[in-house]
Structure 1
Amino acid sequence: MKLFTTAAIVALAAAGPLLAEGWRDDYQVIKFGILSGENEQDRLMRNEPLRVYLEETLGVDVEIFTAGNYDGVVQAIAADQIEVARFGSSSYAAVYTATDGGVVPTLTSIAENGNTGYHSIVVTRCDSGIESLEDAAGKVHAFADPDSTSGYAVPYFNMVEREGFVPEEHFAAVPFSGSHEAGVQGVVNGTFDTASTYQDNDTDGVYQRMEIKGMIEEGVICKIWESPEITSGPWTFRKNLPAEMIEEVTAAIEAFPTDDVEGFRLYSSWTEDNPNPDAGFTRVDHDRYQWIVDMREWLREQRRGS
């Protein structure tokens, strides 16, 4: 009996590391999705430090998943093709609806001053003569993407409910540009008169970052409208993943800003003159985003009615 017990102990000890792997046995590769808010080269570059950090911290391969539009990432997580994605508030609501609640939000960004939100804005060329949404009547307005919170859902909702007009009736046309950068670039080029996009504050947003990157000249784009604050979108996991996996990956993302300060600065587009840069992440749950789910349902009803 003693020999059997000893052999059993040795066998268990040898198997110990394998048993300890837990969820890693089934998920040796983690894929995280990122939305198409900017050109693919820049979004891959910004997210590379996080990918490397997660790979080293978690001990599994980590891959970045991109798609040509927001819905591509929504469908990928709904089809179990990726494990986690960083969504905007509206695209989170889209994937929550598409999966019948089969996703779990865990983290969102928090700024240095404690804010966890940003603003939808409408921009135009500074030399266009358009200084308000009223001035833009009869002009071409570009929304970013049907699943964009700041680029479509929030500005559309506010235009109808707070500004008192229906975009399809107020503007000459309301095309989708495909991304925030494409919308801003279209305004610069004269393809669109105005466009919906977002900013965290007056020194940090889509068009400001495009100026920094040399994509557009400084002083060409001006803001003419700003929404109330929007809760930043969450890091979102499939609910059918192991709970311990969701927690470990969440904890790793949460630690990234302090464990790799320079990597987080690149990821968050940190600039020295930004008075309120992203400082890290804070925990969230679905209740934080239910109003966005409700707003998207309102938008669907509006479309059905028209």
Structure 2
Amino acid sequence: MIVVDGSREFDCILSGEQIAIGITSIWGDAVTVGRERRSVPARGNWAPTRRGVLVGGAAFIGAPAIVRAEQPFRFGLTPVFLTSDLDLLEALQRYLSVAMGNEVQLVLKRTYQEITSQLLSGLLDSAWICGFPFVAYRRELELVAVPVWRGKPTYQSYLLVGADRGDVSSIRDLRGDIHAFSDPDSNSGYLVTRALLAENRAKPQDFFRRTFFTYGHRNVVRAVAAGLAQSGSVDGYVWEVLSEAEPELTKLTKPAWRSERMGFPPIATSAGNAASEGIRRFQRALIDMPSDPTGRSVLGLLRLDGFATEDPSLFDSIARRVDLVRALG
């Protein structure tokens, strides 16, 4: 089963309005639920906060922390990073269900904030999240697996501009732009750029003429290609995959700057669920993907080599960026 946020099927399983109660983003300055954005009181200094997500799960204290074999395994995804291509999702759901010997439900949510809140509250067994939420909630989350792309469990963030733009080599050349971000809880689509600005004692609202969130890396590429934004912050893996799949789109853009390599967006589970039999079988299914025909098909669609177990220290550079932005306030 594929459960899409806002669909009737999803509403029968859990009310989207229930999920909205008490949830704030990692940044603590807004909540995003479905297509609705709401303001909340700003905090005095910038810092990821566990309260926003943990309070959101307070209504679900009775939710089981350990996967039972007779229950569907719920795996959360978001189009911020992953495409919602039905062929890919159906192949992924089919492979995981067979490999685990248990029904797997793919739960699609619009933002990282929504996916992370459901993971921490026990409504999801595992989720494909971003490195930024992973380090922000390090005490509550455990790594399950990290994708391997082009032989490494790492990727880069790109600053994207139009293909016909003149020489641009650093973020300083983007001052005064209309700039597109992907998601406020994205590492490559927001945090990296915010950390670059922090190094120059600047903030997005002061540096750029205007900014907006697209809630999808592909949408950042589209915004820059169409001229809706003069520049954008994007996941380098997504841009490279789009260059193969949709070259007519990416040829209208170019990376003006690339970050160093960082831990690839991981698959995580809650700390209380990490030792469960369901997570053990899920992790094994991910690692064994290259040896199965359907698994290889999924990896081919994702342009990934496979999945591997990695040490959390892989995400230390992301944690340092969080500290840098926090220091600026």
What is the TM-score when the length of structure 1 is the normalising length? 0.76
Matches within 5 A, 1:167-246: 167-199=204-236, 205-214=237-246, 216-241=248-273, 242-246=275-279
Change (3 A) 1:237 1:176: same
Return the alpha-carbon distance in structure 2 between the equivalents of residues 212 and 70 of structure 1.
25
Matches within 5 A, 1:211-290: 211-214=243-246, 216-241=248-273, 242-260=275-293, 262-268=296-302, 270=303, 278-290=304-316
Structure 2: 5+ residue stretches without partners: 1-65
2:194 aligned counterpart, secondary structure: helix
Question: 1:107 corresponds to which letter in structure 2?
Answer: A
TM superposition shift of 1:239: 2.3
TM superposition shift of 1:210: 3.4
Percent identity reads 22
Question: Is this contact kept in 1: 2:146–2:309, CA < 8 A?
Answer: yes
Matches within 5 A, 1:11-30: 25=68, 27-30=70-73
Question: 1:238 corresponds to which letter in structure 2?
Answer: S
Change (3 A) 1:266 1:37: farther
Return the alpha-carbon distance in structure 2 between the equivalents of residues 106 and 262 of structure 1.
19
Change (3 A) 1:33 1:39: closer
Question: Paired residue for 1:126, among 163, 188, 191?
Answer: 163
Name the larger-Rg structure.
1
TM superposition shift of 1:80: 1.1
Change (3 A) 1:87 1:267: farther
2:124 match = 82
Question: 1:118 corresponds to which letter in structure 2?
Answer: Y
Return the alpha-carbon distance in structure 2 between the equivalents of residues 39 and 286 of structure 1.
22
Return the alpha-carbon distance in structure 2 between the equivalents of residues 282 and 65 of structure 1.
22
Change (3 A) 1:52 1:128: same
TM superposition shift of 1:73: 0.4
Structure 1: 5+ residue stretches without partners: 1-22, 200-204, 271-277
CA distances 1:137-185 after superposition (whole Å, capped 9, x unpaired):
2111112111111111122212322x66443322212222222111111
Change (3 A) 1:217 1:233: closer
1:155 aligned counterpart, secondary structure: helix
1:154 match = 192
TM superposition shift of 1:259: 1.6
2:55 match = none
Return the alpha-carbon distance in structure 2 between the equivalents of residues 171 and 24 of structure 1.
46
Question: Is this contact kept in 2: 1:155–1:227, CA < 8 A?
Answer: no
Return the alpha-carbon distance in structure 1 between the equivalents of residues 81 and 140 of structure 2.
27
Return the alpha-carbon distance in structure 2 between the equivalents of residues 293 and 221 of structure 1.
29
What is the TM-score when the length of structure 2 is the normalising length? 0.71
1:191 aligned counterpart, secondary structure: coil
Return the alpha-carbon distance in structure 2 between the equivalents of residues 196 and 217 of structure 1.
16
2:249 aligned counterpart, secondary structure: coil
2:142 match = 104
Return the alpha-carbon distance in structure 2 between the equivalents of residues 160 and 107 of structure 1.
31
Q: RCO greater where, 1 or 2, for CA within 8 Å and sep 6 or more?
A: 1
2:24 match = none
Asked whether 1:37 is paired with 2:37, we answer: no
Return the alpha-carbon distance in structure 2 between the equivalents of residues 285 and 27 of structure 1.
31
Question: 1:289 corresponds to which letter in structure 2?
Answer: F
Return the alpha-carbon distance in structure 1 between the equivalents of residues 286 and 241 of structure 2.
24
Question: Is this contact kept in 2: 1:210–1:216, CA < 8 A?
Answer: no
2:135 match = 93
TM superposition shift of 1:81: 0.9
2:4 match = none
